[in-house]
Structure 1
Amino acid sequence: TMSGEEEPRSYYVGVDVGTGSVRAALVDQRGVLLAFADQPIKKWEPQFNHHEQSSEDIWAACCVVTKNLRETCWDKAGHFFDLPDFLSWKATGVTARSLCSLVCKWTYSAEKGWDDSFWKMIGLEDFVADNYNKIGNQVLPPGTSLGSGLTPEAAKELGLRPGVPVAASLIDAHAGGLGVIGADVRGHGLICEGQPVTSRLAVICGTSSCHMGISKDPIFVPGVWGPYFSAMVPGFWLNEGGQSVTGKLIDHLVQGHPAFPELQAKATARCQSIYAYLNSHLDLIKKAEPVGFLTVDLHVWPDFHGNRSPLADLTLKGMVTGLKLSQDLDDLAILYLATVQAIAFGTRFIIEAMEAAGHSISTLFLCGGLSKNPLFVQMHADITGMSVVLSKEVESVLVGAAILGACASGDFTSVQEAMARMSKVGKVVFPRLEDKKYYDKKYQVFLKLVEHQKEYSAIMSGD
């Protein structure tokens, strides 16, 4: 460039395929989101509880969002792809698979590769043929550049240049973890500042929640998935806990309450979201004590859709104890609060299981839709007793996806370097330690609830 001109800057496109929509963002080298686009994805329910989506429809949505950013022949059974690998194949024509998808979802081992005996045991030995050609025999760490980048055809559909580097992908929650866990925390008074990155737990909270912790050596945690080598941060083992429905559970209980129409009307009149309105309503009805104390006799067990971690019991049901005859807006607000607390107690339950197995966690890094809710964040801090770090960019999954693109383009020497440069701390929420005793008591009740539920089902299934 001529003197006086600014150097040409590099930009990265992060693409996140969620349950209901495809989102994309243009991210610069400092990890700042410059543009954002989203597009809903079609869902079919051929019969109750059977959900289907179309990979072609998802690719089309990826093309729409990527094109929107610019302006601001699937072989029948040739290959079986997880969605992220399908999308990178559509973009580059390369059938290589991401280590993340194969290790976390497909029984592949980063050290040993595929296990022939497993496929024979489940009657899918056809997959072993041709050196596992149908399900992937070239496996790359996330962030590795695929082939020679975008094919001319994909480039045209996406509205980008042919040859733009494309990275081996990550699963959405894992991209969120990558987008937050490496943030530079200096100067925020955080205990994890002098600690290794293994002291951090990334919690990606959306329709459901994922709890991502990494360790130098493999740790086996009962009821928590993993350990997976290099599946999120290269060179580290990943353990992944989760809660099946979190965002969806809050919506379910709030929308099913008789006072919901009144809530909607009042929130609309104030131009607020229903959750912002509920949060301010809780501040209004609390007495001398903090908001959290309003649930002293209302307790929720949140597994309305079974338990993913740490009990791994899909037969579990939800529980609410402490219901009254009144059904006004106050009752709705307090039920909402108890539900948010229950989800935070679930996180504490997962953390305790991880620590009992050998993890050492001091700080939570939250991202995803629910991390925009200050009550949800504060309850996670108070109930776990840990500080919560929020990213400057809430859309951390997109920053994580863009970090992969930055690595594939060669602008950074490693995923770790890109993480440290592109994830920024936005806000830190500290726990109210003076409320610890109250939450410890509620946690005892929380654990009693599931103990009792198991007793009930033992009685009912007994002779």
Structure 2
Amino acid sequence: DYFVGVDVGTGSVRAALVAADGTIISVATQDILVYSTAADFYEQSSEEIWQAVCECVQAVTDKVETSRITGIAFDATCSLVVLDGNYHPVSVSPSGNFETNIIMWMDHRAKEQAEAINVINDKVLSYVGGSISVEMQVPKLLWLKENMKSCWDSAAHFFDLPDFLTWRATRSHTRSLCSVVCKMTYMAGGDAQNGWSEDFFRKIGLEDLADNFEKIGTEACAPGEACGLGLTSDAAKELGLNPGTAVATSIIDAHAGTLGMLSLNLSSKMALICGTSSCHMTVSREPLFMKGIWGPYYSVIVPGMWCNEGGQSASGKLLDHIVENHPAYPAVRKEADQLGVHPHQVINSFLKTKPNSAMLTGDVHIWPDFHGNRSPLADPNLRGMISGATLATDREDLAVNYLATIQALAYSTRHILDTMKEAGQRIETIVACGGLSKNDIYIQTHADVLGIKIILPEVTESVLLGSAMLAATASGLYSSVQDAMFHMGSSGELVQPNLMLQNYHNRKYEVFLKMLQHQEEYKQIMQDDKLM
């Protein structure tokens, strides 16, 4: 048997054909557009994304008999899709862009709505780290109601993007527990009453949804459960597969990466999925409540287990921003193009010529929350800080700023881990995937800062593998998600921390925490009544 895993990321769609033992046979990629018409507004088109999905799936399956492909699964970013009663796209763009009916995960337009929801301090919020994030769907829904009446009145269906994909493939309205629990405040597991909290939705001003929860889904299934009756004839034709092919209940992209990386010994590991943004995922047998860390979420990755999720709103995006806005970048980019490599590789090569390169940043300190803090502070209003800037414009200055940014992201991860440990989460090993996991300086720096060994899976496409595991489960080949993990998982390369740098990074981490303290003090000074 073969399975298809589909991953819809921030800037591209990818699909993989995967064998029953977890071997990835082929991968196809198609870029997708991100529309940003104002600061903090990021939108996409569900029609464009589905077209890209179809092209990628056709590309990876064109040399295989469709009868041998017995399952397909989707993962995607946790973005909000809006459709009308006829399932046509409804624009979410105040700029009048009628193509865009998706508010992306990284869209921060709903800051005021998130703050208003958090003031209520409802018990529902204890399952999202104590406060709802601007990146989740409920603040975005409230923003649409308060700011785009035409959209709100026209909308009949709100889907998290992973669930839109399974609906498009099967026409089933079932939702994934992963999507609705993690991003839409659906209650599951433990002492919670399973389902939506009608009281919570009425309190925050979304009584329209409390009156008609069908708009956001009334049936939720665990990732990997078979969705509907499999592919419809229309979807099968578009994808180039057979009607009735099993479709797995979907999963969020970071959670798919976690599934693809973790072995069955889950409780002492953390999955680090590092790309445009970064996610820090842990799994436990009992619910752990952590301030500023999302969760605990029940059955959103592995059925019957709880997940907590830390994260950085901008990691790869921040690194690109620092590099691409430096005066030395054009020369570095030109050299990278000539060599056929990523500009980061040129900078890495330069740093490796310097003895004790990690210590080049002794006078340069960065607070990395240029797009707000997701964890553990849950404050979208925090801003980035740089201490130690000079007038230098050469390659070494670029390299030092680049390295200081990588270190800052590692200190931010340490901040998240410290919070998890205080809540009782034991972490002995990190397993990493995503674009930044291919950057050896990024990974070695994280190992050094955290003092923890990092495993880089042999299968580099962990997110696609995780999706394929769900497809194999839905097809019936494997009896459970855990069974699929056992048969399809792989080993990996071990990166050990350099303990000689421990003292240096401890001191820089002390500065890192001071920068947070200073930023808070600066805000207090500027809010002084004497300035009014």
The Cα shift of 1:315 comes to 1.6
3-state SS, counterpart of residue 418 of structure 1: helix
Q: Is the 8 A contact 1:13 1:402 kept in 2?
A: yes
**Residue in structure 2 matched with residue 87 of structure 1 by the alignment:** 165
Moved runs in structure 1, 4+ residues, more than 4 A? none
- Name which of 46, 58, 68 aligns with 1:55: 46
Match of 2:391 in 1: 325
After TM superposition, the structure 1 = structure 2 runs for residues 66-105 of structure 1, keeping only pairs within 5 Å, are: 66-71=57-62, 74=87, 77-105=155-183
Question: Which one of the candidate residues 153, 160, 174 is aligned to 2:234?
Answer: 153
| Structure 2 residue 171 is matched with structure 1 residue 122 | no
Secondary structure (helix, strand or coil) at the match of 2:366 reads: strand
Paired residues of 1:178 and 1:400 also in contact (CA < 8 A): yes
Q: Quick one: which amino acid aligns to residue 56 of structure 2?
A: V
Structure 2 residue corresponding to 1:210, chosen from 269, 273, 279: 279
**1:405 — aligned with what?**
471
Task: Provide the C-alpha distance between the structure 1 equivalents of 2:34 and 2:216, rounded to a whole number of angstroms.
Answer: 25
Q: 1:158 to 1:137 in 2, by over 3 A?
A: same
1:191 maps to none
Cα deviation for residue 182 of structure 1 reads: 2.0
State how far apart, in whole Å, the 2-side matches of 1:206 and 1:445 are: 26
Q: Give yes or no for the alignment of 1:181 onto 2:194.
A: no
Matched ranges for 1:2-401 at <5 A: 10-71=1-62, 74=87, 77-111=155-189, 112=193, 113-129=195-211, 132-182=213-263, 196-284=265-353, 286-287=354-355, 290-401=356-467
CA distance in 2, matches of 1:134, 1:298: 50
Deviation, 1:291, is: 2.1
Which amino acid in 2 is paired with 1:220?
Answer: F
Deviations 1:210-239 (A, max 9, x none): 000111111111111100111112111111
Aligned equivalents of 1:320, 1:109: Cα separation in 2: 40
Mapped partners of 1:56, 1:325: distance in 2 = 47
Unaligned runs of 5+ in 2: 64-85, 89-153
For the residues of structure 2 that align with 1:261 and 1:124, how far apart are their CA atoms? Answer: 49
Alpha-carbon distance, 1:133 to partner: 2.3
Secondary structure of 2:33's counterpart equals coil
Distance 1:46 1:256, change over 3 A: closer
Asked if the contact 1:385–1:431 (Cα under 8 Å) also holds between the matched residues in 2, the reply is yes
1: CA distance, partners of 2:22 / 2:187: 31
Moved more, 312-321 or 72-81: 72-81
**8 A Cα contact 1:207 1:245, kept in partner:** yes
1:270-328 Cα shifts (integer Å, max 9, x gaps): 333211111110011x23xx321111221111111111101111121111112233221
Q: Deviations over 1:130-186 (max 9, x none)?
A: 6x3222122110000112211111100000011110000001111111111227xxx
Q: Secondary structure at the match of 1:333?
A: helix
CA 355–55 in structure 1, closer or farther in 2 if over 3 Å, else same: same
Q: Distance in 1 between matches of 2:36 and 2:512?
A: 34
1:349 CA displacement: 0.6
What code does the residue aligned with 1:221 have?
M
Amino acid at match of 1:100: C
Per-residue CA deviations over 1:243-263 (Å, capped at 9, x if unaligned) read 010001100000100111111
1:88 shift after superposition: 0.3
The aligned amino acid for 2:21 is R
Over aligned residues, Cα RMSD in angstroms? Answer: 1.5
Q: Distance in 1 between matches of 2:33 and 2:204?
A: 32
Where in structure 2 are the equivalents of 1:437-448 lying within 5 Å?
437-448=503-514
Letter in 2 for 1:49: D
Task: Choose 212-221 or 317-326, whichever is displaced more.
Answer: 317-326
Partners of 2:33 and 2:361 lie apart in 1 by 39
Q: Residues 391 and 423 of structure 1 are in contact (CA less than 8 Å); yes or no, is this contact kept in structure 2? A: no
Which residue number corresponds to residue 424 of structure 1? 490
Structure 1 position 45, deviation (Å): 2.9
Deviations 1:172-203 (A, max 9, x none): 111111111227xxxxxxxxxxxx41110001
Counterpart residue number, 1:186: none
Which whole-Å CA distance do the structure 2 matches of 1:16 and 1:117 have between them?
35
For residues 259 and 28 of structure 2, the distance between their equivalents in structure 1, rounded to whole angstroms, comes to 21
**Which residue identity lines up with residue 267 of structure 1 in the other structure?**
A
Does 363-372 or 320-329 show the bigger shift?
320-329
SS across alignment from 1:304: coil
Distance 2:27 2:338 in 1: 28
| Total equivalences in the alignment | 438
After superposition, give the CA deviation of every residue in 1:387-412 in whole Å (9 maximum; x if it has no partner). Answer: 00111122211111111101001111
